Structure 1
Amino acid sequence: MAGYEQYFRELVDGKRENPQDRLLLGCLKFLSLFYSLALRLRAFAYGAGLLRTRRLPRPVISVGNLTVGGTGKTPMVGWLARYLMGKGKRVVVLSRGYGGSAHGEIRMVSDGERILLPPEDAGDEPVLLAKTVPGLAVVIGADRYRAGVYALETLKPDIFILDDGFQHIRLQRDLNVLLVDSRRPFGNGFTLPAGLLREPVAAAGRADIVVATRSKDGVGLVNPVPGKPFLMAAHTLEGMIPLEGGALAPFSRLKGVRIMAFSGIADPGCFFDELERAGVPLVATLAFPDHSVYGDEELAAICKLRDTSQSAILITTGKDAVKLTQFKDRLGPCVVASLQITFADALPLEREIEKLL
């Protein structure tokens, strides 16, 4: 599956130029027109009141993107949760629970004190948020309004964060945060299946504030959604933590050690590149599809490459790690890269948040 994902990305990025690939992309662009039209009609129906929207009696901050794949939504949600909790607010994250067996059901992942569901049921990202932000409550459900009502009754939150909520128009939000990848904000400009866009570019107009992620210094970067408040963010690997848990340690401790990296995220190549830039030389890498479920086949592939590359330590992402603790003995020495989001200037976002408090 990872091979198909890589092929698709290369195809829509224009890196596949033989006649068969060009013909396939042309057909996909034709189909994309119909998909894009359907999305425009859906957005119009909600905007015109033809489709019903619902409002929760607490402020809702939505974090989402226009493209498939990773733009750093989970670190952004974590940052917002910490900021709001630092203001003394009781925060609940509402998530789809994608990738878990309970996907679609309304379930409590964390009540802020205990993690109540494993990633196999809840999905990797909700469990990662609950694990990395102490005191954060997380509820999953396909219908985020009903999930919010459930959270109101059981958790009494002051404010909600809607994870991956840009397309969940049926739930009204008080602050719409749109994340875009600073390298290619809208991919090739086409919606699925000819590009990476979930919606046409015009949908970016629903945003209240735009955050360009993976922007190291912001040189030459312009606001991809003119007229909207805009800020730049970088994702930084700040160190590593043992898979079984423990204190953060610097990557310098890996000097001279043979290291293999693996991950099942939307853009594993970016993770491997960031490790190299952080001073972690890799002797081998292994990519799995996004939201991979780790079973015997995946563990066998990891262990085989670990042995053939003579790697002494494995390194992976936090999103993968929540699904791997049960396999720590089989994996051997394994560490988790700790990812943090930092802003060149967070003031525009803080101003928008303060309006809700």
Structure 2
Amino acid sequence: MIFSKPKFWHKKNSLISWMLVPISLFLQLLSAIKAKITIQKSFKIPIICVGNIYLGGTGKTPLTITIAKELIKLKRKPAIIKKYYPEHIDEHNLISDSLNCLFLEKERFKAITNAEKKEYDVAILDDGFQDFSIKKDLNILCFNSKQLIGNGMMIPAGPLREEIGAIKRSHIILINGDKNEMFEKKILSISNKVKIFYSKYVPTNINEFKEKKLIAFAGIGNPDNFFSLLEENNLRIEKKIAFPDHYQFNKSDIQKLLNESLANNLDLITTEKDYFRIKKYAIKEIKYIKLKLEIFQKNEFLNQIKNFL
């Protein structure tokens, strides 16, 4: 899905949101019916789901990669499962560049079945919290501290794929960003059994850009988070350009960026995801920020996962 989030998704008491509530309620009803009538498939191997209820930009893929790498250290053989969407090639490449265990199918259960046949011993779903056809052993929900749940309404009135009560189905919550005790209380009021952890992104090549004047561009779920990260690390951003999530850059887009860069004597910087989408054009003038996901209380987080294996 390629789109830009409307601003009213993060405004309380927006008239547009309230006008869209009937559609949200109808979609919520359809989702509830689907969940009730869907027959769940069980598998021989444990199923870990890394999902969200806020649409896009919560860090599912980096967390999926991190968990897979940690399981490999434990002598497990994890398979990363993704539902195939052509426009998500950036995420496919991001995973494949790190690990050789990605299974892509139009239906997730087929990908899991293929992984079982190849003797993988644990499956990690990158997204799939709303896929009721698969019985999961462990549900991890991702949030970003800057957006959290937006206005708290469901699509299209707000950014939520499900109402917040869906937290009851999760075992672990990972919030990327600053600690938020108020949101923690909200989570625990819904489910007092869920474990809450925090993480942050740490740039590993920031020094390459310290002395440069930059044009920053991004086509991700929450581009403002990327721009904020650059500014928090004292990079000099002269211009910010936001594209829709999973935007498929063409030659014309790239040329416009290069022209603006040249005309203003500025360097171009983007996200790793976006870089994988433009890598095919072999443009050496475009660089990207490399990020490492750092999980606080990492050992306890991993112990929680091991408890479900």
The TM-score with structure 1 as length reference comes to: 0.79
Shift of 1:52: 0.7
Letter in 1 for 2:10: D
Shift of 1:219: 6.1
Confirm or deny: 8 A CA contact 2:215 2:239 kept in the other structure: yes
Corresponding residue of 1:119 = none
CA distance in 2, matches of 1:253, 1:185: 31
CA distance in 2, matches of 1:262, 1:309: 15
Corresponding residue of 2:279 = 325
Match of 1:92, SS state, is strand
CA distance in 1, matches of 2:287, 2:177: 23
Shift of 1:93: 0.4
Letter in 1 for 2:254: L
| Structure holding more helix per residue | 2
Is 1:182 the counterpart of 2:145? The answer is yes
Is 1:70 the counterpart of 2:57? The answer is yes
Aligned residues: 306
Letter in 2 for 1:52: I
CA distance in 2, matches of 1:219, 1:36: 28
Corresponding residue of 1:147 = 111
Q: In 2 relative to 1, CA 68–295 (structure 1 residues): closer, same or farther, beyond 3 Å?
A: same
Confirm or deny: 8 A CA contact 1:93 1:138 kept in the other structure: yes
- Superposition pairs of residues 5-24 of structure 1, within 5 angstroms: 5-6=4-5, 8=6, 10-14=7-11, 22=15, 24=16
Shift of 1:38: 1.9
CA distance in 2, matches of 1:231, 1:340: 20
Shift of 1:16: 9.8
Corresponding residue of 2:156 = 193
Corresponding residue of 1:297 = 252
Corresponding residue of 2:82 = 95
Residue identity over aligned pairs, in percent, reads: 26
Match of 1:283, SS state, is strand
- Superposition pairs of residues 138-287 of structure 1, within 5 angstroms: 138-153=102-117, 155-215=118-178, 217=179, 222-226=184-188, 227-240=192-205, 251-287=206-242
Q: In 2 relative to 1, CA 231–76 (structure 1 residues): closer, same or farther, beyond 3 Å?
A: same
Confirm or deny: 8 A CA contact 2:184 2:196 kept in the other structure: no
CA distance in 2, matches of 1:218, 1:13: 17
Letter in 2 for 1:40: A
Shift of 1:26: 2.8
Q: Once superposed, which parts of structure 1, at least 4 consecutive aligned residues long, lie more than 3 Å away?
A: 217-221
Shift of 1:263: 1.3
Task: String of CA shifts for 1:54-75, please: whole Å, max 9, x gaps.
Answer: 0121111000000112111111
CA distance in 2, matches of 1:5, 1:221: 25
Letter in 1 for 2:225: C
1:37 corresponds, among 20, 23, 29, to 29
Shift of 1:220: 5.8
CA distance in 1, matches of 2:114, 2:275: 29
RMSD: 2.3
Q: In 2 relative to 1, CA 68–269 (structure 1 residues): closer, same or farther, beyond 3 Å?
A: same
Letter in 2 for 1:14: K
Match of 1:279, SS state, is coil
Match of 1:139, SS state, is strand
Q: In 2 relative to 1, CA 353–13 (structure 1 residues): closer, same or farther, beyond 3 Å?
A: closer
Shift of 1:231: 2.8
Q: In 2 relative to 1, CA 350–234 (structure 1 residues): closer, same or farther, beyond 3 Å?
A: closer
Task: String of CA shifts for 1:60-114, please: whole Å, max 9, x gaps.
Answer: 10000001121111111011011101101111100013334xxxxxxxxxxxxxx
Shift of 1:174: 0.8
Shift of 1:302: 1.5
Higher relative contact order structure (alpha carbons within 8 Å, sequence separation ≥ 6): 2
Confirm or deny: 8 A CA contact 2:200 2:295 kept in the other structure: no
Task: String of CA shifts for 1:7-35, please: whole Å, max 9, x gaps.
Answer: x1x12222897xxxx2x333212221211
Q: In 2 relative to 1, CA 314–15 (structure 1 residues): closer, same or farther, beyond 3 Å?
A: farther
CA distance in 2, matches of 1:31, 1:221: 27
Q: Structure 1, unaligned stretches of length 5 or more? A: 101-121, 241-250
Letter in 1 for 2:39: R
Letter in 2 for 1:178: L
Task: String of CA shifts for 1:276-297, please: whole Å, max 9, x gaps.
Answer: 1112111122211111112123
CA distance in 1, matches of 2:271, 2:84: 18
Shift of 1:316: 1.1
Q: In 2 relative to 1, CA 350–224 (structure 1 residues): closer, same or farther, beyond 3 Å?
A: farther
Match of 1:61, SS state, is strand
Letter in 2 for 1:308: A
Match of 1:75, SS state, is helix
